[in-house]
Amino acid sequence: MHEPWPRGGGNSNLAVFFQVLACMDILSQPINAIQHHGRLEQPERQPHKGADHQSQRELGKEKPSSQTRQRGLPGVFPNARFRLCHRLPTLGAHRCLLALHTRTSWHCLQVRVGSQRKNVVGAPPGVYVVPVKLLLVDGSYYVYRSFFAIRELSNSRGEPTNAIYGFVKALRKMLRDVQPDRAAVLWDDGLPQRRTQLQPEYKQQRSEMPELMRPQIAHIRQIVPLMGVTSLRLPDTEADDLIAAYTCAAEPQGMEVVLATNDKDLFQLVNERVRVYSTNKADFASPKDGFALLGADYVREKWGVEPGQIGDVLCLVGDASDNIPGVSGLGPKRAAALIQEFGSIDSLLARVDSIGNEGIREKVAGAREQILSNQEMVRLDTHLALPAPLEELAICPRYDELLTALEPWEFQSLTAEIRAEAARLAQPRQGELF
């Protein structure tokens, strides 16, 4: 067993902390600020009152104050700044979530102690650095899935509770499976005008939301923040665009991103740091697995193209679930073969005459305008203004409020499970950082 970090005082912990950071290539530039999210070892060592979500937005910009302590370590970043922030009870012992700000950008990481993974060179035994993990959940998809998976569940007053129960259970399972450091549930809130103007029939074929589901969504949106997960939406914006925007904002910071969704459009974001969460048994590597994280290999096997080319395939085949028409007579396999051959939809349209099959050539040439329209329809809005910065997506459950909010729905076993979890996390654990 590895020795825990020093516990004698803040200076010794901080010294080790900076020694670890000094081993990272990311620190080739001077540090402007270090934001620390971790459990506080002693009750009397409370966070500074100003170190809340709002003040974090200006971290790295403001002048040093009573809320930003200056600690000089001879030879190890003597002018570095750091901040102690709010408690995060979901972060286990020997684990510290950090956000570093250099002159150019934010960089997020974790420092953990006691793992068998590869250590950081020059750091104490058992200390290593891993990327921060961000979980992004497609809220609307999981509400629908929960509603139809669990039928005829209600409380003693006859109020429907199936979607609420299923959603809470699903989100709790995700948090256990993925073990994220930050998380958000993203919601649809209308349709983007650019899509409805381009194709007025966009999603018009979808049936109305079931009446028994409608009131449950409002309660779910109230419960999610109490579970410690940020709940976000933007007017006239679909969840997949918001998920894409957060994914693209997280990647430059070195985060790992897990997408909990069934939206095929979002698979085009998959890469070595972005994967899709699945509880479909067909996706499990082993029958004993409870979930899978789908990567680029899954996309290649299922679609026959690279993740970044899924949008090009959709331009050709359309998307029946969104009422986006495709090229008549052109199926997914043929579309994937064309994208493999030509590389992209733009290259395909520029070289239509090079398509070997005369029938396919005529179909693609005749559907040129539809394909260009589809290209804009399936394009994800990755540059949306984020409704909350990534730094504010830390997971911080409010157990007392959560239990109160769940009480009217009479989930006896679920509330007992949450109550036991809250009691367990409230107990001080030896070796906690800082």
Mean pLDDT for 191-212 is 90
> Could you report the per-residue pLDDT of 250-274, keeping only the tens digit for each?
988 888 999 999 999 999 999 999 9
Mark whether 250 and 144 lie in a shared domain: yes
Residue-wise DSSP of 278-345: E--GGG-SSTT-S-EEE-HHHHHHHHSS-GGGHHHHHHHH-BGGGTB---TT--HHHHHHHHHHHSSH
What's the confidence (pLDDT) of residue 253?
A: 84
Q: What is the Cα–Cα distance from 389 to 379, expressed in whole angstroms?
A: 23
> Does residue 4 form part of some domain?
no
CATH classification at residue 334: 1.10.150.20
Which tokens belong to 339?
A: 């994208």
Domain membership of residue 404 (yes or no) is no
In a domain, 342, yes or no: yes
Domain boundary among 70, 97, 130: 130
Mean pLDDT of 412-434: 77
My answer on whether 169 and 276 are in the same domain is: yes
User: Whole-angstrom Cα distance, residue 211 to residue 411?
Assistant: 22
DSSP 59-126: TTTSPP-TTSEE---TTS-TT-EEEE----TTS-TTEEEEEEEESS-EEEEEEEES-SSPPPTTSPTT
Of residues 416 and 127, which shows the higher confidence score? Answer: 416
Higher-scoring residue by pLDDT: 326, 79: 326
Q: With H, G, I as helix, E, B as strand and everything else as coil, classify residue 21.
A: helix
Structure confidence at residue 204 (pLDDT) = 86
Give the whole-angstrom CA distance, residue 263 versus residue 256: 19
Report the interhelical angle of 214-226 vs 139-149 (nearest 10°). Answer: 120
Q: What's the burial of 145, exposed, middle or buried (CB within 10 Å: 0-12/13-18/19+)?
A: middle
For residues 107 and 210, state if they share a domain.
no
Letter for the amino acid at 200? P
Whether residue 327 sits in one domain with residue 225: no
Average pLDDT along the chain:
77
Same structural domain, 182 and 287: yes
Contact 70, 116 (CB under 8 A): no
Pick from 112, 130, 148: which residue ends a domain?
Answer: 130
Read off the pLDDT band of 96 (50, 70, 90).
low
Give the Cα-Cα-Cα angle 395, 183, 2 (nearest 5 degrees): 60
**Whole-angstrom distance, CA of residue 434 vs CA of residue 432:** 7
Residues 18 and 110 occupy one common structural domain: yes
Considering only residues 392 and 37, tell me which one the structure prediction assigns the higher pLDDT: 392
pLDDT, mean of residues 1-8: 32
What is the model's pLDDT at position 165? Answer: 98
User: Could you give the 3-state DSSP secondary structure of residue 30?
Assistant: coil
Q: What is the CA radius of gyration of the chain?
A: 24
The residue out of 87, 106, 130 marking a domain boundary is 130
- 51-60, 157-166, 217-226, 398-407 — which is least confidently predicted? 51-60
Task: Please give the model's pTM, rounded to 2 decimal places.
Answer: 0.76
- Mark whether 50 and 106 lie in a shared domain: yes
Q: Is residue 281 part of a domain?
A: yes
Residue 378: the pLDDT is: 94
Residue 376: per-residue pLDDT: 93
CATH of residue 143's domain is 3.40.50.1010
Query: Could you write out the three-class secondary structure of 110-130?
Result: EEEECCCCCCCCCCCCCEEEE
pLDDT, position 272: 92
At 402, the amino acid letter reads L
Residues 171, 198 within the same domain: yes
pLDDT at 131: 72
Contact 59, 106 (CB under 8 A): no
Number of structural domains the chain divides into: 3
pLDDT at 313 > cutoff 70: yes
pLDDT at residue 77 greater than cutoff 90: no
Residue 112 pLDDT level (bands cut at 50, 70, 90): low
Per DSSP, what are the bridge partners of residue 69? Answer: 82
Alpha-carbon distance 41 to 320, whole Å?
54
Does 20 fall in a domain?
yes
Q: Do the domain assignments include residue 1?
A: no
Does one domain contain both 213 and 267?
A: yes
CA 195 vs CA 2, 10, 191, 346: distances in Å: 55, 54, 7, 20
Q: Which residue range is the domain that position 110 belongs to?
A: 10-130
The answer to whether residues 208 and 279 belong to one domain is yes
Percent pLDDT > 70 in the chain is: 68
* Residue 60 covered by a domain: yes
Q: Which residues contact 399 (CB under 8 A, 6 or more apart)?
A: 418, 419, 421, 422
Distance, in Å, from the CA atom of 243 to the CA atom of 205, rounded to the nearest integer, reads 24
Tokens 């020795």 belong to 3
Distances (CA, A) of 135 to 56, 179, 216, 385: 20, 9, 23, 19
The verdict on 217 and 171 lying in the same domain is yes
Residue type, 413: S
Q: pLDDT band for position 247 (50/70/90)?
A: very high
Per-residue pLDDT at 353 exceeds 80: yes
Q: Is residue 126 part of a domain?
A: yes
**Model confidence pLDDT, tens digit, residues 148-199:** 999 889 999 999 999 999 999 999 999 999 999 899 999 999 999 999 999 9
Confidence category of residue 70, pLDDT binned at 50, 70, 90: very low
Which has the minimum average pLDDT: 20-24, 46-50, 300-304, 423-427? Answer: 46-50
Same domain for 297 and 217, yes or no, is: yes
pLDDT higher than threshold 80 for residue 53: no
**Rounded Cα–Cα distance for residues 361 and 234 (Å):** 41
Report whether pLDDT(82) > 80.
no
